[in-house]
Structure 1
Amino acid sequence: MSSSLNTMKALPKLSPPFLLPLLLHILFLSFLPLKATTSPAAQAEALIAWKNSFSSRPPPSLDSWAHTNLKNLCNWTAISCNPISKTVSQIDLSNLNISASLTQFNFTPFSNLTHFNLNANNFSGPIPSAIGTLSKLKTLDLGNNLFAQEIPEEIGKLTNVDYLSFFNNSLSGAIPYQLTNLQKVQFLLLGGNYLKTPDWSKFKSMPLLQYLDIFLNSLDSEFPHKFVSGCKNLTFLDLSQNSLTGEIPESAFTNLGKLQYLNLSNNQFQGPLPTSFLKLKHLRLAQNRFNGPIPKGIGLVSGLQRIDLLTNSLEGEVPSSIGQLRELQYLDLRNNSLNSLIPFELGFCTNLTYLALASNFLTGELPLSLSGLTNIVELGLSGNLLSGPIPPSLLSSWTEMVSLQLQNNSFSGNIPPEMGLLTKLHVLYLYQNKFTSLIPSEIGNLKDMVDLDLSENQLSGPIPMTMWSLTNLQSLQLFSNNLSGTIPEEIGNMVSLATFDINTNELEGELPKNISLLTSLQSFSVFTNKLSGGIPSNFGKYSPGLTNVSFSNNSFSGELPPALCSGFALQALTVNINNLTGSLPECLRNCSALSRVRFDGNQFTGNITNAFGVHPSLEFIALTDNQFVGTLSPQWGKCINIKDMRMGRNKISGQIPPELAQLTQLHYLSLESNEFSGQFPNGIGNLSLLFELNLSRNHLTGSIPKSLGTLSKLEHLDLSDNSFMGEIPIDPGTFDKLTTLNLSHNKLSGNIPEEIGNLKLKFLLDISSNSLSGQIPSDLAKLTQLEVLNVSNNHLSGAIPSAFSDMGSLISYDFSHNNLTGAVPTRGIFRKAPANAFAGNSGMCGASEGLTACSSGKKSNMNTNKILIGVFVPVCGLLLIAAAVALILVFRKKPKLLYVETKKLAFTMRVTDKSDVFSFGVVALEIVMGRHPGEMLESLLEASKTLKGNAELLLKDVLDQRLEPPTGELAEAVAFVVTLALACARPRPELRPTMRYVAQELSA
């Protein structure tokens, strides 16, 4: 323009008649460059350049876009031209599967473009801001592509657009408020992206907008009622599948008198349901948090065709006013808390094809008025409290029915024979009801049936022969009934069968051989019946899709079919509790998808060392109660998802592989009653999720690792019947949840840890048949919930703590065959002591079986010539000698006492505060023996080392030989005193009683 103006200044003055033509000529010349850029040739070059930038080969339909065809631009595929200017007005590349971007598209030559449609391709990258130069554009459809990044603000310059679609892309960022500059837009599609909440306050109303779709984005604000209510011509509004919250104001739809379709599903709206929908046809508010009742006024929205309110918190009744909605075709009120009868008026909605009232609290019987639903195709009433029979008149009217789901109710009576009239049925679910009697043979008329489930009722009698002719049936589930009879060969007619489940019935006989020909079979379950005979040898051979097989709890015999797992797709195989023999199928090793395996309770043999491979999905494996041999492969350590491993009661040998420590998901490990040897497997103490560990009845040796105590979830530990040695490894703060502990029949030694009293043991504490010594800790009395206690067959000494009397939950206890002394407590649980619970404790007395009655408060069962005194029996007591006499003797015998104390220090290398008890013991023995006891104590100590604590001596050899031997009660009293004196003279100070305790015992 500037060059044109300079030209005008150089011209001579002209009269007005000549001036106007000249100005027009100059204006024409100024537009020549623009015309050049929008010429057909320029457009053709731009389109060819764009085509050449496509990242995939252009479709053959675009072969017309070529330099050899420049003059035929208006005839190119996907191109339409303005008939006057012959320039491009429309580009429609929809549904051509093009992979490209818009960044390589030159927008400049297309200023006259009115329609730009790239729908349903693979365009990616950003939407260029240059798109805002297409000022004459009326239709812009970029939907169903892969465009990303933000919507450019320049879109707001396309003020002539009436159709705008960015539907189903990967656009992000906030919705630009500049979109509301497009006041001519009637259709705005933004759904299926990742768009975020904009500043709704900047949005203008769009009075011409009819169709607004922003579903499946990332909006998280409250309902944008100000903007929406300003779009008065809206007929379609979809904000579903976002995260919009809050209540919806009543005024939000007051101005939307033309609204016909409203979808706010899958958000987080709450409060009462919105109303004021005068012309609404589709109301979809599913999967929110709306609460309160369904408004009775819903029946006034006479044009409603679809109501979708599933999965909210609606309560109260199903309003009878719904019966006024004569155009209603679809009603879904599932997954709420509605608690009324099914309204009689619902039968007036004669156009209903879909009715879903499942998962509520509806009660009562089916109203007979529902026979008016002659167009019903799908009916779902499952998961309610409905009862009574199914009226035959209803079935006679529902001949268009394709899906009937009445499961999880309390329907009763027989299944009406009229069920056979529903010849279009594909799905029939009647499971988990109270139906009785026989399965009607008329079900065999339902030739289109695909899925039939009558399980968990009280049906009886044989499976009708007509049912075996349902050749389209893919799933048959009849489990948990009282069905009897056999499985006939006609099962082979069910060529489409994929799922067959008749478990937990009374079926008997053998499996027909032609089940092997069911090539579509995926799941086969017959467990818990009375079936017998062999499993057909070809079972699985022609069913490569088998994933779940269960023959459990029958009387099958013989070997497993070798091709059972030939498809290698097995996920669950359970054959437990049968009479099966032989080895496992070789194909099992290659079934990498296995998740659950049970072979337990059979008579399988063979070597399992290499029977299994690596099964990364395996969670449960049970081989218990068979005759397997071999060793456990280290490969088990690669089955990293095992939670439950049970291989007990076989003949498996070798060491427990340390690789089991890699099974970090393990909850249950049971290897009991095998031939395992070696030490406790390393790393088992690191299995932090372990709940139960049973390694009992093997040949394991070494010590029990302390790391077991850190297993915070361990509740049951059984290491009994092995050869474990050392002390019981229980420290403060360990075994937090242990309720059962069995360490019996090992070679454990040392004292019983008093920390056991701090555990939460409830069911069993069994440490019997070991070499434990010392006193029974009184802290064990803290186990107030313990039911069974067994400390028998050890070398325990001392008295049974009286606090045990208060262990009220204890129903069984055994203290027998130890070196316990003193009287059996008589309170609480000891009032009715079990027989022989205290047998084999020569120093005890009481009323229990195997013990003599206590005399003069001192309990023993001895006579002078045959009483055995345990050298290390943990008995508390010392002869209570008059203080004066004791002191005189102590000082008079000081040299010898010093000698004894010297010997004591030589034994222990420790000086303690129990020297007074030791001295009293020495004095008491000296009085009884008539000589100093030093040599006797030293000789007994050496003997005890040799005999592992079982050194014994006769009372007659201890007493002063110059005196007459005592008899009767006097003999018992003397024996009691000698026993207590020996206890006080133990070489280990920590095993001696205190003086307070001695005084209390002798004064009792």
Structure 2
Amino acid sequence: MALSLFYVFCTWIVFLVMIHSSLAKPLCHRDESSALMEFKRNFRINRETYYCVYPKVESWSSYGLGDCCSWDGVECDKATGHVTGLDLSNSCLFGTITSNTSLFHLLHLESINLAWNDFNSSSIPYGFGNLSRQCGLYGEFSINIFQLPNLEVLDISGNGNLSGEIPVSIGNLVFLNKLLIWLCHFSGSLPTSLSNLSQLAYLDISYNKFHGQIPASFANLTQLSYVDLSANNFTGDIWHWLVNLSKLTHLRLIAKLIILVSFHLADVQLSGPIPSLFDNLTRLVVLDLLDNNLEGEIPNSLWELKDLEFLGLDWNNLSSTADLHKLKNLESLYLDSNNISFISKTETNGILPKLSILHLSSCNLHEFPNFIGNLSRLKEVDLSNNKIGGSIPTWVWNGSGDTLEWVDLSHNFLTGFGNNQINQPLPKLAYLDISSNQLKTKLPSPPPLAVYYNISNNFLFGEIQSICRARSLLILDLSNYSLNGTIPSCLGNIESLSILDLGKNKFKGTIPHAYPKDSALKIIDLTENRLQGPVPRSLVNCKMLEYLNLGFNQILDGFPLWLSELTKLKAIILKSNKFHGPIETYRSQFNFSNMHIMDLSYNSFSGELPSKLLQSFRAMKVIVSQDRLEYMHALEVIYLPQMGYEKVVNYGMKLMSKGTEREYSKVPNALMQVDLSHNKFEGCIPNLIGDLKSLHSLNLSNNILTGSIPPSLANLTELESLDLSRNNLSGEIPQQLAQLTFLSSFNVFHNQLSGPIPRGTQFDTFAIDSFTMNKGLRGSPLPKKCTTLGDILPLSLSSQQEIGEESLLNLVWKFVLIGAGVGFLIGIVLGNLIIDEKSRWFLHSSKRIAKGWKRPGRR
């Protein structure tokens, strides 16, 4: 009995171990294991070659408890168990790779390395085309590939670091059926020889950097059924060559076709009017001409496409009076950034019965289109950037109050809500933007499911306690109001909240103290309020925080050292508050490795400049070149049912820029700035500031700094603005600063500097008020010129006499003034005696100087 129980126990142990193993690591799929074993059987091991290192396939076995994911050279996806990598380099393999090798059954392969084996002069098999996962190719694509005359399929798509051009020799590939180069880094123009590819049926070169005109000879590609040229830089008229493409069924182009059902021409830089080519396109379901340079009238034939489900004409320069009555199947309508009006009919119930997405942004509308109130399936509406004024009528929500999920009415002239109904019953509304209008009312309560709520830049007033009803908020922007009262503590407890902007209001009291450990906050902007008290220590729980702006309040606190634990912080604005005391002690530790902007100005910080703090700004120590101008922002994805939107929220702040306070609606990502001005810092400027090589602006003005200006500041080669004014700095201005070629603003006003002002291209442009109130400074632009021996020329006797007479006259007046104090007669007598002696000394000295100088510039 005991033996039986022991046997059962052991059996369970083995069973549990097997289950644990299977759960901990998924077994290799049986068909992939078999494919690898078959591949192994087709080769033999040849250890005689000099490049044979280790026959990895010898460890492969279909027996035992192991699986192929544990074999040498095999890598599997940890979640699915599929073979994704195969490295058989230097594996002593000898044999022939055929087109039907079992290796091509591993359809999930993402990387393969067969280098340094002997494949017996095998040709490259076609089966590699079955391995479609992103190759990761980079560098210049070999032009020799276009020399293979029998090539039928060329697919190098999805290699974003692979550059190259399509050569003229591609015209020799007369058997080429498919050409796919989408999402690469190819450039150049398209050669006319492409038109020789008479068998080409599938062409996709989208998302590259091709440019120029598309050759008119493309009309010869009569076998084309799929064409995508989008997201390039093509120019000119392309309509004329499309008429002959009678087999085209999917295109991001156009054709004279009856069978055409999908037509995409988004972002291909088309110009000119839309031709009247839609008369025969009775089956057209999708028409997308987004983001081109099309202009003129929209053809009337377009409004006759009864099967149309998607119409995208947005971001062009078109104009039209749209007649939507026949588009009974239309579900999505995008007409943004055109000049659009609508045919007005008394009966609107039958218009667009299936429409769920309506975008009419920047269409020069002056009123709400009257058909909106009858759209019973409407989920998304965008009427932003128009000229719609007055109140929002209640009938707008009549048909879609229960279906709306996304509403944007921003940047209009709206003044209120119809019948003063500020709170509408919109149970599914998740995205609401009514910002930048002229609303004059109390703050409307956000819908209960609101994720994005932006009602900034209006004239709202009152308290905001109603915000607490929205527990799913991701982005909340209530800035630029006259809102008052206290900030409700519930905002700190909304775990999903990522962007909080309450700036430029009249909030008072303290900042909420409750922030959960998993807080998602990335941006907190409370600038220009009347907040008091300390910075809440619980903000340390906001590990995702990138931007903190508490400027222009009445916060009373020391420097919040614990902010250093928030390693993602890029900008801290604490200016114009009541912060005080030293920033660091000998025990202080800082880690602001991602810091771009630190503004502590207009406070009462004291002690020496915080060297450890500055030393921790690691992002400022590396100069990163950027191909395009980018801005500091937080990116959020707003998920709605069956759709998702990327929302970019830019950092906004007031900063000193070259001596002037400037409001930034968005801040360049490359801007690096430190502002410690208007405090009580003392001591010397630390040399280590010279390590912050990417710094664009440094402001240490209005402190009590002493010592000299460190020459290490010349290492700040990106520096555009340097303000050291109103301190007690002494010594000379380092001549090395003349090397700062980007320096456009420089100020050392009111110090104790001396010596010559550096000369150079930038220093020659600075005004006199950059240097005044420094008794010892000399040189341009100060009136007290810097004179060196090399600048003095030999004096002629006449010029000596002129200088002598002028000097004697000045002396006469000086002693006359002396005489006024001690007695006029005594002054005259002393003046005559000293003038006689002075004149003899001056003449003697001037002759000696003239004899001692041989020629200008040399002693």
TM-score by shorter chain over 0.5: yes
SS at match of 1:652: strand
Equivalent position to 2:109, from 121, 126, 129: 121
Question: Shift of the alpha carbon at 1:241?
Answer: 5.2
Q: Name the structure 2 match of 1:237.
A: 227
Match of 1:357 in 2: 335
Contact kept? 1:321, 1:345, Cα under 8 Å: no
Secondary structure class of the residue paired with 1:530: coil
The 3-state SS of whatever aligns with 1:331 is strand
Aligned partners of 2:282, 2:359: CA distance in 1, in Å? 24
Match for residue 321 of structure 1? 301
Distance 1:982 1:367, change over 3 A: farther
Of 419, 422, 432, which aligns to 2:411?
A: 432
Paired residue for 1:805? none
Greater relative contact order (Cα < 8 A, sep 6+): 2
Q: Which amino acid aligns with 2:249?
A: Q
Mapped to 2, the partners of 1:120 and 1:713 lie a distance apart of: 52
Does structure 2 retain, via aligned residues, the 8 Å contact 1:395–1:422?
A: no
1:472 corresponding residue in structure 2: 449
**Aligned 1:196-215 pairs, distance under 5 A:** 200=193, 203=196, 205-206=198-199, 211=202, 213=204, 215=206
Q: State the 1:549 CA deviation.
A: 0.8
Corresponding residue number in structure 1 for 2:747? 718
**Cα deviation, residue 915, structure 1:** 2.9
Task: Give distance in 2, aligned partners of 1:622 and 1:317.
Answer: 52
Take 2:222 and 2:246, find their aligned partners in 1: how far apart are those partners?
Answer: 10
Q: Would you say the 8 A contact 1:516–1:543 is kept in 2?
A: no
Distance 1:102 1:432 in 2: 61
Could you say which residue in structure 2 is the equivalent of 1:849?
none
Which amino acid is 1:648 matched to? S
CA 1:215–1:96 in structure 2 vs 1: closer, same or farther (change >3 Å)? farther
**C-alpha distance in 2, partners of 1:51/1:398?**
68
TM-score, normalised by the number of residues in structure 2: 0.70
Unaligned runs of 5+ in 1: 1-41, 67-93, 265-273, 757-764, 776-907, 944-949, 962-973, 993-1004
Q: Please state if 1:613 is matched with 2:604.
A: no
Kindly report which structure 2 residues correspond to 1:431-450, keeping only aligned pairs within 5 A, or say none.
431-438=410-417, 441=421, 444-450=424-430
Aligned partner of residue 539 in structure 2, secondary structure: coil
Candidates 943, 951, 956, aligned match of 2:825: 956
Q: Is the partner of 2:372 in helix, strand or coil?
A: helix
Q: Decide which of 38, 41, 46 is 1:49's aligned counterpart.
A: 41
Percent of aligned positions that are identical: 23
Q: C-alpha distance in 1, partners of 2:181/2:746?
A: 61
In the aligned structure 1, how far is the partner of 2:480 from the partner of 2:387? 20
Shift of 1:514: 2.0
1:657 matched to 2:649? The reply is no
Look up the match of 1:84.
Answer: none
Q: Does 1:741 pair with 2:793?
A: no
Q: 2:800 aligns with which of 909, 915, 938?
A: 915
Given residue 389 of structure 1, which amino acid in structure 2 is its aligned partner?
Answer: E
Which residue, out of 397, 406, 412, partners 2:383?
Answer: 406
User: CA 1:212–1:312 in 2, change beyond 3 Å: closer, same or farther?
Assistant: closer
Report the equivalent of 2:627.
none
Q: Report the Cα distance in structure 1 between the residues aligned to 2:759 and 2:186, rounded to whole angstroms.
A: 59
C-alpha spacing 1:98/1:49, structure 2 compared with 1 (3 Å): farther
Is the alpha carbon distance of 1:678 and 1:245 closer, same or farther for their aligned partners in structure 2, counting shifts above 3 Å? Answer: same
- CA 1:157–1:652 in structure 2 vs 1: closer, same or farther (change >3 Å)? closer
Structure 1 residues 63-105: Cα deviation after superposition (integer angstroms, max 9, x where no partner): 9999xxxxxxxxxxxxxxxxxxxxxxxxxxx995443489989
Asked whether the 8 Å contact 1:516–1:536 carries over to 2, the reply is yes
SS of the residue corresponding to residue 606 of structure 1 reads strand
Q: C-alpha separation between the residues in 1 aligned to 2:263 and 2:743?
A: 54
88, 99, 103: which one aligns with 2:85: 99
> Of the candidates 542, 556, 559, which is equivalent to residue 567 of structure 1?
542
Cα deviation for residue 577 of structure 1 reads 1.3
- Equivalent of residue 678 in structure 1, options 707, 723, 733: 707
The letter of the residue matching 2:713 is I
Aligned residues of 2:40 and 2:57 also touching (Cα < 8 A): no
**Match of 2:247?**
258
The aligned counterpart of 1:556 is: 531
Deviations 1:369-425 (A, max 9, x none): 8871222222222234x232214x433222322221221222212223244434332
Matched residue, 1:10: none
Q: CA deviation at 1:193?
A: 6.7
Which residue of structure 1 lines up, in the alignment, with residue 724 of structure 2?
A: 695
Q: Quickly say closer, same or farther: Cα 1:601–1:251, change in 2 above 3 A.
A: closer
Task: Work out which of the residue numbers 354, 374, 392 in structure 2 matches 1:375.
Answer: 354
What residue in structure 1 maps to residue 285 of structure 2?
Answer: 305
Cα drift, residue 580 of structure 1: 0.9
Counterpart among 261, 269, 273 of residue 293 in structure 1: 273
Deviation for aligned residue 1:355: 1.5
Rounded to whole Å, the distance in 2 between the matches of 1:748 and 1:237 is: 74
Residues 299, 61 of structure 1: alpha-carbon distance in 2 compared, 3 angstrom cutoff: farther
Letter in 2 for 1:743: F
Counterpart for residue 640 of structure 2: none
Q: Which residue of 1 aligns with 2:486?
A: 510
Q: In 2, distance between residues paired with 1:498 and 1:100?
A: 43
Cα deviation digits, residues 528-580 of structure 1 (max 9, x gap): 11111111222x34453222111111111111111123333322111111111
Q: In the TM superposition, what is the alpha-carbon distance from 1:504 to its structure 2 partner?
A: 0.6
In 2, the alpha carbon distance for the partners of 1:433 and 1:668 equals 37
Q: Work out the CA distance in 2 between the residues paired with 1:242 and 1:644.
A: 36
Q: Deviation string for 1:710-734 (max 9, x for gaps)?
A: 544444443233322x345154755
How far does the alpha carbon of each residue in 1:636-688 deviate from its partner, in whole angstroms, 9 at most, with x for none?
14525363322222222221112222333333322222222222233334534
Question: Are the aligned partners of 1:225 and 1:252 in contact in 2 as well (CA < 8 Å)?
Answer: no
Quote the offset at 1:276 in angstroms: 2.6
Q: 2:600 aligns with which of 623, 626, 633?
A: 623
> Secondary structure at the residue paired with 1:597?
strand
Query: What pairs with 1:483-632 in structure 2 (closer than 5 Å)?
Result: 483-488=460-465, 490-538=466-514, 540-542=515-517, 544-609=519-584, 613-632=590-609
In the alignment, is the contact (CA less than 8 A) between 1:54 and 1:98 conserved in 2? no
Maintained 8 Å contact 1:594/1:617: yes
Deviates more, 1:586-595 or 1:572-581: 586-595
Separation of aligned partners in 2, 1:688 and 1:500: 39
Point out the structure with max Rg over C-alpha.
1
Q: 1:516 to 1:64 in 2, by over 3 A?
A: closer
CA–CA distance in structure 1, aligned partners of residues 567 and 845 of structure 2: 61
2:519 partner letter: P
Residues of 1 paired with 2:103 and 2:758: CA distance?
82
Separation in 2 of the partners of 1:521 and 1:740? Answer: 51
**TM-score w.r.t. structure 1 length?**
0.60
Per the alignment, residue 654 of structure 2 pairs with none
**1:627/1:231 CA distance change after superposition, 3 Å:** same
- Quote the Cα distance in structure 1 between the aligned partners of 2:675 and 2:274: 54
Distance 1:736 1:370 in 2: 71
Contact 2:722 2:747 in 1 (8 A): yes
For residue 335 of structure 2, what is the amino acid of its counterpart? L
Q: Contact 1:628–1:652 at 8 Å: present in 2 too?
A: yes
Q: Distance in 1 between matches of 2:520 and 2:481?
A: 26
- SS of 1:459 mapped into structure 2: coil
Q: Specify the SS of the correspondent of 2:476.
A: strand
Residue 396 (structure 1) aligns with: 373
Q: Read off the aligned partner of 1:729 and give its amino acid letter.
A: I
Amino acid paired to 1:563: S
Counterpart contact for 1:643–1:667, Cα < 8 Å: yes
Quote how far apart the aligned CAs of 1:497 are. Answer: 1.2
